Amino acid sequence: MIKPLINHGRKAEVFFEGESLGFVDALGDGGLRQAHKREVNNALYWASPDTEASSDVFLPSVAALAEYPELVTLYSEAAALVQSAPPEGWSESEPGGLATNVDLIYGGIVDCTIQNGEWFVVPHLEGLPVLEGFKTRSLAFDALNNAIEHSL
């Protein structure tokens, strides 16, 4: 939602799911895109190796990242975390998205929630719980591999 402002230095304030994403200089699509780009920029900044990332910062999707090639250049190491290919044997619904593997021991489903972008894993190996709350897809794959290794 974009809320126009009166007697303020900026044109509007943008809200997503009830939380303010800050102030923008345009109304409509222009304002929404400005807020979106700022959120993608901030997520990549906090995921960069030279910063101390907060545990509640999640990386943008591959689709969101593709909208801002200049941010991919600026934050190349953080962008690489988003763009990484899945491990061998895994198939993707789209680059950087849902990944599946039919192997009954080493396979499962790796996906992220629409609500907050957290990655989760549904392992195929019987007895392993759903693994949740990962900042990146590669961390979700790592968690699955660790869980399988410790259960075998």
pLDDT for residue 85 is more than 80? no
Tell me if 118 sits within 8 A of 135, measured CB to CB. yes
Taking only the tens place, the pLDDT of each residue in 103-146 is 999 999 999 998 888 999 999 999 999 999 998 888 899 999 99
What Å distances lie between residue 111 and 24, 42, 96, 118, CA to CA? 31, 22, 9, 8
Reported confidence tier of residue 57, pLDDT bands at 50, 70, 90: low
Reported confidence tier of residue 48, pLDDT bands at 50, 70, 90: confident
What Å distances lie between residue 47 and 29, 53, 57, 66, CA to CA? 27, 6, 8, 17
- The average confidence (pLDDT) of the chain is 90
